[in-house]
Structure 1
Amino acid sequence: MLRTLLVLLLACSGGIALHADAAPSRASQEDARVQAAMAVPEDLRQAVAALELDRAGIPQLDRVRRLFEFMVAEDGLGLHYQEQPTYDISGSHAQRKVNCLSFTMMFIALARSVGINAYAQASQDALAIRVVDDTVFRAKHVKAGVDIEGTQYTVDVGWRSVVAERRPRRIPDAQLVALLYNNNAVERLQHGDHAAASAQIATALALDPDSATIWSNAGVIHARSGRRDAAEQAYLHALELDRDHIGALGNLVGLYRTAGEAALAHRYDQRLQRAQASDPFSQFLMAQDLMRLGAYDVAVSHYRRAIRLLPNQPEFHRSVAEAYRKLGNDWAARRALRQAQSLEQRKVSQRGLGGAGADAG
């Protein structure tokens, strides 16, 4: 059975009130917070300025490539991928560690400092899956985008950690910084620091009050902190923003089951099942659980549904190949494995920096 407590990461003192229109002074405060989060430390700014990428005559695409290489090369910044913790720009520079979110923030800030109009992109569907105890972690993927002469280019450091994604959407800086606070909140929650998690998620909500994902995560933090009513309110508000939000629905079902409210649990479980039926990642997780139970034939049906919903994901094909192998269907296993390898090769060819054409991930 698919676990019902989910926290979405990307790619977590007092209760958090439901959203109300912010006063102008509050809006100015949040603008200042975004500007501070996107600020480049002076020593880093000087290091990038020394590259002279803003000299006249250097094509925009060459600027982008040189900046990317400077960030990842050992004789440059030498940044290395690390899923957690999520650092801000100063922390990433000091530690030389980034995940997709912190790399994207740093790249955008540095690109703008040398005249490149970079922006953030977030996929609604990108997913990295991790299961810890009773929690399923599902992560949206974030990466940078640059438009040059009518072509959209993607700069992406975390491509290997992504299970799947569809076409990303452009997001403003406030939403990007909100994801930083969201990640910090979830990471603090994982370490049992409920007060810090509550403070971080409150800031995330102030920056992006219309995010169903952040509201769902706020509900998890409330629930883990013993604030059951506040958790329920947060989940319900997330569903007002996104009726089919998998995390909020699953969390609400778990909340009602724990409280013995069977009728409410059943009502929202029906909605959850309908939402999961059209969500490839839920189908994939169900199949994974069924594989562990040895129900390989049923797992195949869920893997195949995931593939129908999102056909270009190598991991889906690789997993169904294993299920076919367990069932003794070697021909189907080989065919699925070949498809997985073909898709993986295409994904490898698109890593790092590439044009976001019809097949770009």
Structure 2
Amino acid sequence: MIRTLLILLLACSGSVHAQHVVHRATPSPAAQVRMDTEVPDELRHAVDALELDRSGIPRLDRVRRLFEFMVAEDGLALRYQEHPTYGVAESYARRRVNCLSFTMMFIALARTAGVDAYAQASEDALAMRMTDNTLVRANHVKAGIDIEGAQYTVDVGWRSVVVERHPERISDIALVAQLHNNNAVERLAQGDHAQATAEIATAIALDPASATIWSNAGVIHWRSGRHDPAEQAYLRALELEPDHIAALGNLVGMYRATGATRQADRYDARLQRAQASDPFSQFLMAQEFMAQGAYEVAASHYRRAIRLLPNQPKFHYSLADAYRKLGKDRAARRTLDHALSLEQRRYSQRSIPEAAPGAG
């Protein structure tokens, strides 16, 4: 079984007791979005000077020119860094972005140039790391533009994404909620529980229907010693999304730690059912079995991940590796060839690739 404490972090994620929150004025969702996506005057003037909104310039050319301006040495020269995650103004001031902050800035600037850009988020993208015995799984965000019946993407962090489901369009409010969700997780990693609590409260206020944000709120409460609010947050996540892998795993871990064995077993059964239909969980299980040398079991989990999500090169590469370890050279070559074919197709898809050094 994979580890049960998960944080879903939009990378490149009960009640909140007031005494644990750094007190500050709480703006409305619309005001919060304006604060986090406001384009500084200096940056707006620089984009205006590009004259991207002139009549006669095709929208796709505007998109390409804006992207080049953002990453070129003689433009903004933005550089990729995974964290921290900044709003538009601070990203501009520091010239540092991850996939979320780049997407926010690109959308804001594109709209000033007359291009109706919007945010897209994958349901779950497989990018992960271990921090303090916590598994961080990441979603992925990028910008979308519809031009003459075709959809284009602007994605500064696509090279860092191992696998992802088909992305869906999200609102500006949901995008900004993920900014504060990221900030909360980043603050938690620094041990700043008060600010983590404040940030996750802002994220919940913006997007109270996000199971991922509620699950992350539970982790923050748990790590801050607030066990009852943690349980309430996990249960709220499951009300919103009954098969939410992270909330189920977190809840099982919490009940095991507190000796609530019957409840742990009940939710563990739900977790196993959810994992059985989740390609990412199957892949993570396979990775753990590979590390233990159980290659046949690992191969079975890789094959299940592939059945659930067939066109992801990483799954096929990993299965080929398991076959090699098992001495099944013919199956390994066949699987590797298929992985290469899928990867070539992925790289040829219509998109504007990341160009900033250090991204990935």
Q: Which TM-score band applies after superposition, normalised by the shorter structure?
A: over 0.9
**Matched-pair contact (CA < 8 Å) for 2:152–2:350:** no
Partner of 2:356: none
Task: Please give the alpha-carbon distance, in whole angstroms, between the structure 1 residues aligned to 2:331 and 2:88.
Answer: 47
State the secondary structure of the residue aligned to 1:342: helix
- Counterpart residue number, 1:231: 230
**Residue aligned with 1:353, SS:** coil
Q: Encode CA deviations 1:230-253: one digit per residue, 9 max, x unaligned.
A: 100000000000000000000000
Alignment of 1:1-361 (within 5 A): 1-11=1-11, 16=16, 29-350=28-349, 352-353=351-352
Letter in 2 for 1:114: A
Q: CA deviation at 1:108?
A: 0.2
Deviation at 1:107, TM superposition (A): 0.3
User: Cα distance, 1:351 vs. partner?
Assistant: 7.2
Preserved CA contact (<8 Å) 2:37 2:89: no
- The offset of 1:74, in angstroms, is 2.0
CA distance in 2, matches of 1:131, 1:314: 23
- Measured on the aligned residues, the alpha-carbon RMSD in Å equals 1.8
Q: Which region of structure 1 is more displaced relative to structure 2, 272-281 or 338-347?
A: 338-347
Partner amino acid, structure 2, of 1:53: L
Aligned-partner residue type, residue 79 of structure 1? L
Letter in 1 for 2:201: A
Report SS of the residue matched to 1:170.
strand
Amino acid at match of 1:151: A
CA distance in 2, matches of 1:266, 1:171: 35
- Distance in 1 (CA, whole Å) between partners of 2:206 and 2:343 is 36
User: Is the partner of 1:152 in helix, strand or coil?
Assistant: strand
SS of structure 2 residue aligned to 1:58: coil
Deviations 1:306-360 (A, max 9, x none): 1111111111111111111111111112222222222222222337428xxxxxx
Q: Which runs of 5+ in 1 are unaligned?
A: 18-24, 355-361
Write the deviation string for residues 64-83 of structure 1: whole angstroms up to 9, x where unpaired: 11111111222221222221
Question: Identity over the aligned pairs, expressed in percent?
Answer: 71
The Cα of 1:94 is off from its aligned counterpart by 2.1
Q: What is the identity, as a one-letter code, of the residue corresponding to 1:173? A: D
Letter in 2 for 1:296: Y
In 2 relative to 1, CA 161–39 (structure 1 residues): closer, same or farther, beyond 3 Å? same
**Aligned residues of 2:15 and 2:233 also touching (Cα < 8 A):** no
In the alignment, is the contact (CA less than 8 A) between 1:108 and 1:144 conserved in 2? yes
User: Structure 2: how far apart are the matches of 1:54 and 1:248?
Assistant: 45
CA apart distance, 1:88: 1.3
Consecutive aligned runs of 4 or more in structure 1 exceeding 6 Å deviation: none
8 Å contact kept, 1:157–1:352: no
Cα distance, 1:133–1:330 mapped onto 2, change above 3 Å = farther
